[in-house]
Chains A and B, each alone.
Chain A
Amino acid sequence: DVKVTQSSRYLVKRTGEKVFLECVQDMDHENMFWYRQDPGLGLRLIYFSYDVKMKEKGDIPEGYSVSREKKERFSLILESASTNQTSMYLCASSTGTQYFGPGTRLLVL
């Protein structure tokens, strides 16, 4: 079975803090994705990566950056957290079908 893990289930941060969300997959997938999910807005793609060291902007990249130093690990970085980044963050990995992690619910105060 594909396993995608995320570093935290719940996270509380203050405005202006730098936030790191980590995602690890164990299936040797090339492709990894970061989404945020908000009520009424559905899943929105932030960034994705098709290979190590490679990254592409999704639909809403502003305020975020990513890092992919190893194939199995894809990190999402909030350079300076703001209250409008309070959300559920979901990581996925894929070879065609996307498999999701459990999600990180981030609250920015």
Chain B
Amino acid sequence: EDQVTQSPEALRLQEGESSSLNCSYTVSGLRGLFWYRQDPGKGPEFLFTLYSAGEEKEKERLKATLTKKESFLHITAPKPEDSATYLCAVRDLYDKVIFGPGTSLSVIP
């Protein structure tokens, strides 16, 4: 059965303290891995799509990487405005999208 897990569940960082969020997946034929950012009370905002192992994408302080079993969202020198919940999702061979539970990130000034 397709499954997506994310760790840690919650992460507190000091401003400027770089770290990584993990997304592990089991899927029948990966057709895309997605990262979203969600602020409280709002809809998820699309960040990245990755399609194959070894692929990397960057946007400002965020960098997403993909292997055959997991993806990492690296946050370099985070700022308080990076505080949000980060969701990972995968699309399988049958075009079904499965979301992970999310990682809640707090960046303290």
Chain A residues with CB under 8 Å of chain B are 4, 42-43, 45, 88, 90, 96-103, 105
Q: Which residue of B lies closest to A6 (CB)?
A: B43
Contact A90 B101 (CB under 8 A): no
Bound complex: CA of A37 vs CA of B89, how far in Å? 14
B17 to chain A, nearest CB (A): 27
Query: How many B residues are at the interface, by size bracket?
Result: 10 to 19
Chain B residues with CB under 8 Å of chain A are 31-32, 34, 36, 41-46, 49, 87, 89, 91, 97, 99-102
Q: Which residue of B lies closest to A9 (CB)?
A: B41
Number of A-B residue pairs at CB separation under 8 A: 37
- With most chain A CB atoms within 10 A of its CB, the pick from B41, B45, B87 is B41
Within the complex, which residue of A42, A98, A101, A103 is in contact with B41, where a contact is CB–CB below 8 Å? A103
Question: Binding site of A, secondary structure by majority: helix, strand, loop or mixed?
Answer: strand
Contact B42 A42 (CB under 8 A): no
B84 to chain A, nearest CB (A): 14
Within the complex, which residue of A43, A88, A100 is in contact with B45, where a contact is CB–CB below 8 Å? A100
- 5 more CB-based (< 8 A) A-B contacts, given A42-B99, A96-B31, A96-B49: A42-B101, A43-B99, A97-B46, A101-B43, A102-B43
